[in-house]
A and B are shown apart, each in its own frame.
Chain A
Amino acid sequence: MERFAFLGRFARNRGALVGAILLLGVALMALLAPLFYPTDPLRIVAQPELWPGDDTAYPLGTDSLGRDMLAMLVHGARATLLIGLFASAVATVIGVGVGAIAGYFGGWVDEISMRTSELFQTIPNLIFVLTIVVILGSTLHNIVIAIGIVSWTPIARLTRAEFLALRDREFVQACRSMGMGDFGIILREILPNALPPVIVLSSLVVAGAILFESAVSFLGLGDPNVASWGRLVGDGRELIRSSWYICAIPGVAIMVTVLCLNLVGDGLNDALNPKLRDR
């Protein structure tokens, strides 16, 4: 019953609905990419700098080397979504871990955790990501780790707040009197209740991760084996006078995806907190 009510509240937010549908479309595009474009999208296939519409075989034109823009766009969706999801997962794991023990145990554990999160917040995030990527090397794995490392602090703070609120509740005290150990309580009792707002935040972290990755690729530090959208924009920079579509199209894709994620995140938030909905 409750789940249907949740979905119902979500669907009433039209923006979130549109966002969810579009996002599903992007995800489908990513999944079906190998079906429509089985060969490596980074292959040179045609004359460079063909405008969209010049040649029906290449509806979005070709880039500076002669690669199919549409193929790269479709495959780029996979890279973009995967990086967003995995980076958010890394950030969530770290953030929930730190926040949970900080909120539950309190005391000096809390102090250290909060000081650490403050430390990571103080260092300007993109600069930190760039440095880490340069050090570890420009592969997908490293970019995911780097983005995860700079994105966990808001999740930690939220988890901590939730745990602070929940740890003194009666059901927790009941478990303690039954003899349940600390970690059992954390994992099985408190965490499932604390998770919903964290999930909402994670979805926004996905959007942030996508923006980070596109900035890193734009600056030329992305994985060269992958046609990510940010890299396409970066590659097109020297051709903005003649072939600005090379920059424009992938950027629109990034914007639409991030926008959808934001809308969905807002929808989730509203659905979870109905009393704050009419804001």
Chain B
Amino acid sequence: MTKVTRRTFGAGAVATGLVGIGLQPSMAQGTPKRGGTLVATWGGGEPQACYVPAGGGSSPTFSSSKIFERLARRDMDGSFKGVLAESWTPAADFKSYTVKIRKGVKFHDGKDMTADDVVYSISEIWKKYAAASALSDFASAEAPDAETVLVKFNNPTPEFFFASLLCGNVSYIVPKHVYAGSDPVTNPANNAPIGTGPWKFKEWVRGSNIEFAKNETYWQTGLPYMDRLIIRYVRDPSGRAAAMESGEIQIGVFNPVSPPDIKRLTATGKFVATSKGYEESVWSTTLECNMRNPVFAKAEVRQAMFFAVDRNLIAKTVFYGYARPGTSPIYSPNTAFFTKDTFSTQFDPKKAAALLDAAGFPKKADGKRFSLNLLAAGWFPENGKIGSYIKQALEDVGIAVNLTVPDRPSSLKLIYTDYAYDLAISNTSNPSEPVPSTTQYYTSDGIRKGVPFCNATGFHTDEVDALVAKIKVETDPAKRKDMVVEFQKIICIAEPILPLVELESITLASTKVQNHSNDPNYLAASWGDIWLAS
């Protein structure tokens, strides 16, 4: 079974000086050729709806981001650029922001986009669905005039955080006249959305593809360059490889084909593989220790877990090299906040054994110290393989391991509702802005039973809670960065969650495709400036 739909949440600022690991796309500079059809695909399946107000995972994000637009976006160099917003300014106390809305933007049905649509989107859609956790301090949004929106918070809100909010994965500006008065979740417009973006929804052939047509009245004159965009959904990676080889599909994002096929196709010279375009949606595989098991009470025991595991081996064999060992809850491409200067746990089984002995868990007569249940969440097939390896690695230091690989709904329930595991292999994808997506794994208010992808380990300390509360409201960027660095240092010693590997997602494209992978979350970009050379 291929990878199930994934989740991405929120967005944050992109860091400066991003280094794309892997091959660089050859981007021919030259005049863009107009017209033509682009057929794209991605490494997952068809979405449940073309637009899901709460996000719904990567698949609906991929389809809806061509039709809708956000207030801002991040550029590859890390700066924030306005899209539907021209600018935003904080008040002196940082408790409110004045956002200037772009003039002359029309929805696909001809109606004007105004501040009322922005107010509606923020108050009704973002607050309730798209960015609920991030907007925990949200007070109100008002439109003093048709081109201005005033967003008010209960507490001081850092600028980086606010800008990231405007770039949120599914923080779109939706038409009030379509959604007001209805239930946004079941509104039929979700299957034929009306937005402001460069592409208009044309047709959805279920089981096959979604077709978009050029938005002739797009506010960025001259764009899009092409006439048609088709997103083709293919269930099986080898089917996608075959389609790309025969030229039917020109670009695939988010690991469209298996790593051996990536190597094979790029070797023909007709394709290019790049890991650029994922800096804001880095996925990682994590190993989580359930703090409710008294065995994990001491930090040394948790650290020992991590000394026992060879993360380089995982990156090499399970991911064919398309991954790198993780070190911190903040990802390495995030140069706004990432620090290398943290307690490191390199592969050292002897040290792991020593730590366990010192913590009071010597090897008993049968050679075992204690036994653990290892639950590898079955939504990625790689998790099962990692589970097999970790079982072996832990058994080598004297820990008996029972491995289970439940399917997606069972894994969600067992990990995030029942907390029925000792060690869990799970995944997370966080943007650059650490609050709340990253921090909610380590704070007491992140412990929400039944809510997935937040604090399931049960870890919390007063120190960390207080630190995160300060990070939320610190408006000085330099001070804020120091606080986040301190956060990382503390977490890396406490290690309730080990970032096993950071995954390198790959975009595979024909060499004819120009101007791709130019957004740090390329899957969720609007693709208005893409074109095909002949």
Do A and B touch, yes or no (CB under 8 Å, in the complex)? yes
A binding-site residues for B, Cβ under 8 Å: 40, 42-44, 48, 64-66, 134, 137-139, 219-221, 224-225, 238-242
Beyond known contacts A65-B385, A241-B238: 7 more, CB 8 A cutoff = A42-B388, A44-B392, A65-B318, A220-B381, A224-B387, A238-B237, A240-B238
- Hey, which chain B residues are within 8 Å of A42, CB to CB? 388, 391-392
Min CB distance B422 to A, Å, is 15
Within 8 Å of chain A (Cβ to Cβ): is B449? Answer: no
- Whether A66 and B402, one on each chain, are in contact in the complex, defined by CB atoms closer than 8 angstroms, is no
Min CB distance A44 to B, Å, is 6
Within 8 Å of chain A (Cβ to Cβ): is B404? Answer: yes
A27 to B402 CA separation, bound complex (whole angstroms): 27
- Whether B388 and A238, one on each chain, are in contact in the complex, defined by CB atoms closer than 8 angstroms, is no
Partner of B402, one of A64, A219, A225, A238: A225
- Hey, which chain B residues are within 8 Å of A44, CB to CB? 313, 317, 388-389, 392
- Whether B318 and A137, one on each chain, are in contact in the complex, defined by CB atoms closer than 8 angstroms, is no
- Whether A66 and B317, one on each chain, are in contact in the complex, defined by CB atoms closer than 8 angstroms, is yes
CB-contacts of B229-273 with A (<8 A) = 237-238, 258, 260-261, 264
Query: Would A220 and B1 be within 8 Å (CB), given that A42-B388, A44-B389 are in contact?
Result: yes
- Hey, which chain A residues are within 8 Å of B237, CB to CB? 238
- Hey, which chain B residues are within 8 Å of A139, CB to CB? 404
Min CB distance B322 to A, Å, is 14
Within 8 Å of chain A (Cβ to Cβ): is B405? Answer: yes
Within 8 Å of chain A (Cβ to Cβ): is B77? Answer: no
Return 20 A-B CB contacts under 8 Å, by A number: A43-B392, A44-B313, A44-B388, A44-B389, A44-B392, A64-B385, A65-B388, A65-B389, A134-B410, A137-B406, A138-B406, A220-B381, A224-B376, A224-B387, A224-B404, A224-B405, A225-B402, A239-B260, A241-B261, A242-B260
Q: Considering only CB atoms, which chain A residue lies closest to B393 in the complex?
A: A44
Q: Considering only CB atoms, which chain A residue lies closest to B263 in the complex?
A: A242
Interface string of B348-392 (1 = CB under 8 A from A): 000000000000000000000000000010100100110111011
Min CB distance A138 to B, Å, is 7
- Whether B1 and A238, one on each chain, are in contact in the complex, defined by CB atoms closer than 8 angstroms, is no
A199 to B220 CA separation, bound complex (whole angstroms): 77
CB-contacts of B389-435 with A (<8 A) = 389, 391-392, 395, 402-407, 410
A42 to B238 CA separation, bound complex (whole angstroms): 26
A121 to B299 CA separation, bound complex (whole angstroms): 55
A65 to B238 CA separation, bound complex (whole angstroms): 20
A113 to B223 CA separation, bound complex (whole angstroms): 70
- Whether A138 and B405, one on each chain, are in contact in the complex, defined by CB atoms closer than 8 angstroms, is yes
Q: Considering only CB atoms, which chain B residue lies closest to A66 in the complex?
A: B317
- Whether A65 and B317, one on each chain, are in contact in the complex, defined by CB atoms closer than 8 angstroms, is yes
Interface size on B, residues (CB 8 A): 28
- Hey, which chain B residues are within 8 Å of A239, CB to CB? 260
Partner of B388, one of A138, A219, A224, A242: A224
Q: Considering only CB atoms, which chain B residue lies closest to A242 in the complex?
A: B260
Min CB distance B236 to A, Å, is 9
Q: Top 4 nearest A-B pairs by Cβ distance?
A: A224-B405, A238-B258, A43-B392, A224-B403
A44 to B1 CA separation, bound complex (whole angstroms): 23
Q: Considering only CB atoms, which chain A residue lies closest to B395 in the complex?
A: A40
- Hey, which chain A residues are within 8 Å of B318, CB to CB? 65
A241 to B237 CA separation, bound complex (whole angstroms): 13
Min CB distance A264 to B, Å, is 35
- Hey, which chain A residues are within 8 Å of B402, CB to CB? 225
Q: Considering only CB atoms, which chain A residue lies closest to B381 in the complex?
A: A220
Query: Would A241 and B405 be within 8 Å (CB), given that A65-B318, A224-B388 are in contact?
Result: no
A42 to B407 CA separation, bound complex (whole angstroms): 21
Min CB distance B257 to A, Å, is 9
Partner of A241, one of B264, B313, B395: B264
Partner of B403, one of A48, A137, A225: A225
**Which of A42, A65, A139, A239 has most B Cβ within 10 Å?**
A65
A238 to B318 CA separation, bound complex (whole angstroms): 13
Interface string of B8-45 (1 = CB under 8 A from A): 00000000000000000000000000000000000000
- Whether A241 and B381, one on each chain, are in contact in the complex, defined by CB atoms closer than 8 angstroms, is no
- Hey, which chain B residues are within 8 Å of A40, CB to CB? 392, 395
Partner of B404, one of A43, A48, A66, A138: A138
- Whether B260 and A238, one on each chain, are in contact in the complex, defined by CB atoms closer than 8 angstroms, is yes
Query: Would A134 and B403 be within 8 Å (CB), given that A220-B381, A224-B376 are in contact?
Result: no
Min CB distance B411 to A, Å, is 11
- Hey, which chain A residues are within 8 Å of B404, CB to CB? 137-139, 224
- Hey, which chain B residues are within 8 Å of A220, CB to CB? 1, 378, 381, 384
Q: Considering only CB atoms, which chain A residue lies closest to B259 in the complex?
A: A238
Min CB distance A225 to B, Å, is 6
- Whether B1 and A219, one on each chain, are in contact in the complex, defined by CB atoms closer than 8 angstroms, is yes
Min CB distance A50 to B, Å, is 13
- Hey, which chain B residues are within 8 Å of A134, CB to CB? 407, 410
A48 to B376 CA separation, bound complex (whole angstroms): 22
- Hey, which chain A residues are within 8 Å of B387, CB to CB? 224
Partner of B317, one of A48, A137, A221, A238: A48
- Hey, which chain A residues are within 8 Å of B261, CB to CB? 241
Min CB distance B69 to A, Å, is 37
A238 to B405 CA separation, bound complex (whole angstroms): 19
A222 to B406 CA separation, bound complex (whole angstroms): 10
A239 to B381 CA separation, bound complex (whole angstroms): 14
Min CB distance A226 to B, Å, is 10
Q: Considering only CB atoms, which chain A residue lies closest to B387 in the complex?
A: A224
- Hey, which chain B residues are within 8 Å of A241, CB to CB? 238, 260-261, 264
A139 to B403 CA separation, bound complex (whole angstroms): 10
- Hey, which chain A residues are within 8 Å of B1, CB to CB? 219-220
- Hey, which chain A residues are within 8 Å of B391, CB to CB? 42
CB-contacts of B122-148 with A (<8 A) = none
A42 to B389 CA separation, bound complex (whole angstroms): 8
- Hey, which chain B residues are within 8 Å of A66, CB to CB? 317
Q: Considering only CB atoms, which chain A residue lies closest to B384 in the complex?
A: A224
Q: Considering only CB atoms, which chain B residue lies closest to A243 in the complex?
A: B260
A65 to B392 CA separation, bound complex (whole angstroms): 12
CB-contacts of B147-191 with A (<8 A) = none
A238 to B260 CA separation, bound complex (whole angstroms): 9
- Hey, which chain B residues are within 8 Å of A137, CB to CB? 404, 406, 410
Q: Considering only CB atoms, which chain A residue lies closest to B396 in the complex?
A: A43
Q: Considering only CB atoms, which chain B residue lies closest to A222 in the complex?
A: B405
- Hey, which chain B residues are within 8 Å of A138, CB to CB? 404-406
A65 to B403 CA separation, bound complex (whole angstroms): 17
Min CB distance B279 to A, Å, is 27
A44 to B313 CA separation, bound complex (whole angstroms): 10
